[in-house]
Structure 1
Amino acid sequence: MPDRLLLVDDHPVVRTGCRRLLASAGPYEIMEADTGSRALELCESEPPDAVVLDLGLPDIGGLELLDRLRRAVPDIRVLVFSMHDDPVFAARALEAGARGYVTKNDAPEELVAAVETVLAGGIYLSRDMAREVAVMSFAPNRSPLQGLTARELRVLAELGQGNAIAEIADRLGVSYKTVSNTCTTIKTKLGARSIRELIRIAVEHRVSP
């Protein structure tokens, strides 16, 4: 039987491109989900051999979804496929249990190689990303984002997208007070004095949901 893949991305064009690329590379059975909730449903009802996961989903943050997928299906193999090329996110994804990280700026063959590696039980990073993650591990204070949890990164990313605290609370399904307290914690960790400074940090570091 062909390996079953689940593509999780909220952009139809991206899913279509990935489907065509992977279909030409091997005999895969490919499923699709445009939200984190749908991905969880499919993983529980029709467990895939591997998941190709975008971090920027509209309903559940990518790192949070990664954690929930691994709790739902402990042996699941997840390859993160993201627009974000900051090694902080690659490191976070690996720490959260991802088996690989590929950016949407990488060559198409990188995605194919990553899927094949993950399906074979390996871990995949592009050469450049692997080098940056390795360098970062020897300089743990290089990025101020490294001390943030997955939820704090998501809130910071939402601030950088121009969303107000009330909007973020609605998107995350939590209370206004929870998001406000999270912002206070982020300010303490990053040495910021205001929400405006958090927004600047999010933009400067290109933090994405």
Structure 2
Amino acid sequence: MVRQGCKLLLESQNIIIVAEAESGEEAFRYLNEVTPDIAVVDLSMENMGGLEVISRMNMRYPEIKIIVFSMHDDPFFTQRAFKNGASGYVSKSNPPETLIEAIGHIMTGGQFISPDIAKKLAFDQYYEATAHPLKQLTSREIDIFHRLAQGKSSAQIAEDLSLSRKSISNYIGGLKKKLNADSTANLIKIAITTFKES
């Protein structure tokens, strides 16, 4: 439904949609056939997470400008997305016209952050003033942490990410150490709290 809404909005501004994808893997299959000027990427996707998609797309197709369009309005995600190669970030709580505005800025060589996130980034130098629990995690660890917050088991996460259960177990062990969780149950509680606040 979100993709359909975006498509109708963009087409109403005479923007041509060359492809749509439900996952990162599907997006890269399309990119073997078409090279868009701009890719609008959600962070919450099955299998390959949005941050990883941005990083890989930036490495393989640096000519494509990337806009994140996400429910996450936490400045952490904005910082990580730009670090991975995004040129714009728009939270879904903004009016639809904000996405059009972002595309205009980026097509002329600029960058764009939606006003709600820009205010959070500016407020008290957010990243210097707070110890965000996700700041020390890799993109892969964030993908796994997010899935724990969604209530997924290790087996389900392993299937989602095409990894072995042992690899997921190792990642979870690393997450416990980084986030000072004394059990998997405590780690899941931290994950739920973190993404509820994001």
**Is 1:132–2:120 an aligned residue pair?**
yes
Seen in structure 2, the aligned counterparts of structure 1 residues 121 and 44 have a Cα distance that, compared at 3 Å, is: farther
Corresponding residue for residue 59 of structure 2 = 71
- The one-letter amino acid paired with 2:192 is V
Seen in structure 2, the aligned counterparts of structure 1 residues 73 and 207 have a Cα distance that, compared at 3 Å, is: farther
Cα distance in 1, alignment partners of residues 5 and 155 from structure 2: 35
Corresponding residue for residue 157 of structure 1 = 146
**Secondary structure of the corresponding residue to residue 110 of structure 1:** helix
Corresponding residue for residue 28 of structure 1 = 15
Counterparts in 2 of 1:9-88, with a 5 A limit? Answer: 13-25=1-13, 27-30=14-17, 31-88=19-76
Corresponding residue for residue 148 of structure 1 = 137
Deviations 1:132-166 (CA, angstroms, capped at 9, x unpaired): 23422332x43111111111111100111111111
RMSD: 1.6
Cα distance in 1, alignment partners of residues 107 and 186 from structure 2: 42
Question: What's the TM-score once normalised by structure 1's chain length?
Answer: 0.87
Question: What's the TM-score once normalised by structure 2's chain length?
Answer: 0.92
- Residue ranges of structure 1 left out of the alignment (5+ in a row): 1-12
Identity in percent: 40
- Residue ranges of structure 2 left out of the alignment (5+ in a row): none
Deviations 1:115-144 (CA, angstroms, capped at 9, x unpaired): 1112222111012212323422332x4311
Cα distance in 2, alignment partners of residues 151 and 173 from structure 1: 12
**Is 1:93–2:49 an aligned residue pair?**
no
Asked if the contact 2:43/2:70 (under 8 Å) is kept, the reply is yes
- The one-letter amino acid paired with 1:201 is I
- The one-letter amino acid paired with 1:124 is F
Asked if the contact 1:44/1:73 (under 8 Å) is kept, the reply is no
- The one-letter amino acid paired with 1:28 is I
Cα distance in 1, alignment partners of residues 71 and 10 from structure 2: 19
The alignment covers a number of residue pairs equal to 194
Deviations 1:63-121 (CA, angstroms, capped at 9, x unpaired): 11111212221222110111112211111111111111111111111111111112222
